Amino acid sequence: MRYLPKSPVDRKEMLAEIGVASIDDLFSTIPAEYQLKRDLKVPRQHGESEILDRFRAYADNNAVGYSSFLGAGVYRHYRPVIIDSLVQRGEFLTSYTPYQPEISQGTLQAMFEFQTMICELTGMEIANASMYDGSTGAAEAIMMAVIATYAQHQEIPTVEVGYAANGRVDMAALDAAITKDTACVLIQSPNFFGTIEDVAAIAEMAHAKGALLIVSIAEAVSLGIVKPPAEADIVSLEAQSYGVAVGYGGPYCGVIACKEKFLRQMPGRLIGETKDKDGKRGFVLTLSTREQHIRREKATSNICTNQALVAMMTTIFLTVYGKQGMKDLAEQNLAKAAYLKGVLGASAGAKVLFDGAPRFHEFVLELPKSAETVNAGLMKKKIIGGLALQKWYPELGPNASLWCATELTTKKQMDAVAAALAGKKA
């Protein structure tokens, strides 16, 4: 077992082999003022039973038995049980970068299928097989568009454009903000308020002034019903909703897809399909631009992680659901959110903000009183309410909060929160 610590006899033999009498002699070149002469202040070791008890105590802090209406970038969706059954197979669970692609056909095929599905979902021509989290993917997408500026210490000037009365980006302000020096326009759709942006109109506006358009998608399930952003140049997608557990914030599955002409600017690995000398179908590592073995001046990214296991989860998820299943799933989310919006508005006296544009499964409510106060009361009833927005959008006031419903949100839970907000018993 290579990770077990060495015994005293092992250590003595190793020291003798290198010609020193003790560990202290080995580090004698370090000045005395930098040497630690006391034991480390760390907790004592624990037995296996003690460790299990400690983690059971931690688990008691989880929101088991609570209904949740939070979204805001992390979404609760059903994970088919087959996902964990398959990804825990040894050949997948320990998968890493295919440095020797010829003996990594299973890993390469899984990545190839992943890339193909992402392209079909986003309407792009190329998708990478190196995953980040979604926010990092958006940053990397910007770097693709401004690679020259990236080389100048990443001092990239940015301008943030506000939103209009319908919750979409303010098109007039956006048009004024785009100049001949603008490298790219980055939008999120559905956006933070749950509103779906007019990607085609924004693309036309950006392209008319020579800028690229990057579309960031935080809720991947929306692509089951929302038109793919094919007008974009680059798409940054967070695929957490495709079978990846909420898991306290990660690891998730950020993806970059783009038009083929940006292939050489895209960070990541690309897997290609080919035939071997016998004419059999095979897979190859076609492009690799962000690994340890790539020279710094040739790399398009300095990120060096491989989340192939997480990508495998999303691949299995998409395979299980299929094209019609993804549409049905998205429609469920859309219908659940519509019902929740209706009962909260009718029973709780809440006002829906930004109701003049299409949305997916999130919406902003203006509650009769402070969102923080409302949430504190709901928590006592094992209900996690919407996200209070004043911290990020002070102009919306203390009563505004963002609510979300997915296919896991039941009618009973929605009726219960409506009753709780109205001061009634469910």
Residue pair 140/256 in contact (Cβ under 8 Å)? The answer is yes
* Distance of alpha carbon 268 from alpha carbon 291, whole angstroms: 8
Q: Is the pLDDT of residue 67 over 90?
A: yes
DSSP string, 366-395: E-SS-HHHHHHHHHTTTEE-PEE-TTT-GG
Q: Say what the pTM is.
A: 0.80
DSSP string, 160-217: ---B-TTSSB-HHHHHHH--TT--EEEEESS-TTSBPP-HHHHHHHHHHTT-EEEEEE
- pLDDT at position 175: 95
* Distance of alpha carbon 323 from alpha carbon 264, whole angstroms: 30
* Distance of alpha carbon 172 from alpha carbon 272, whole angstroms: 43
How does residue 418 score in pLDDT terms, banded at 50, 70 and 90?
very high
- pLDDT at position 70: 92
- pLDDT at position 101: 58
- Higher pLDDT pick, 253 / 363: 363
* Distance of alpha carbon 307 from alpha carbon 130, whole angstroms: 7
Q: Is the pLDDT of residue 198 over 90?
A: yes
Q: Which residue has the tokens 């825990």?
A: 88
- pLDDT at position 215: 94
- pLDDT at position 264: 79
State pLDDT tens for residues 143-154: 665 644 444 556
Ramachandran angles phi, psi of 373, nearest 5°:
-65, -45
Least confident of 38-42, 120-124, 346-350, 379-383: 346-350
- Higher pLDDT pick, 108 / 307: 108
How does residue 7 score in pLDDT terms, banded at 50, 70 and 90?
confident
* Distance of alpha carbon 365 from alpha carbon 369, whole angstroms: 11
Please give the share of the chain, as a percent, with pLDDT higher than 90: 53
Average pLDDT over residues 383-403: 95
Enclosing H/E stretch for 256: strand 254-258
Q: Which residue has the tokens 């300095």?
A: 302
Residue pair 254/137 in contact (Cβ under 8 Å)? The answer is yes
How does residue 269 score in pLDDT terms, banded at 50, 70 and 90?
confident
Q: Is the pLDDT of residue 184 over 70?
A: yes
Structural domains of the chain, ranges and CATH numbers in brackets = 67-77+322-421 (3.90.1150.10), 82-318 (3.40.640.10)
Least confident of 9-13, 105-109, 225-229: 105-109
Please give the share of the chain, as a percent, with pLDDT higher than 70: 85
Tell me the CA distances in angstroms from 32 to 26, 28, 35, 263, one per residue in order. 13, 8, 5, 54
Q: Which residues of 250-268 are buried (b: 16+ CB within 10 A; e: fewer)?
A: ebbbbbbbbbeebeebbbb
Q: Is the pLDDT of residue 195 over 70?
A: yes
400 CB contacts (<8 Å, ≥6 apart)? Answer: 353, 364, 365, 366, 367, 371, 388, 389, 390, 393
- pLDDT at position 96: 60
- pLDDT at position 8: 86
**Is 326 in a helix, a strand, or coil?**
helix
Tell me the CA distances in angstroms from 56 to 59, 80, 305, one per residue in order. 5, 25, 31
- pLDDT at position 179: 93
The pLDDT mean for the chain works out to: 85
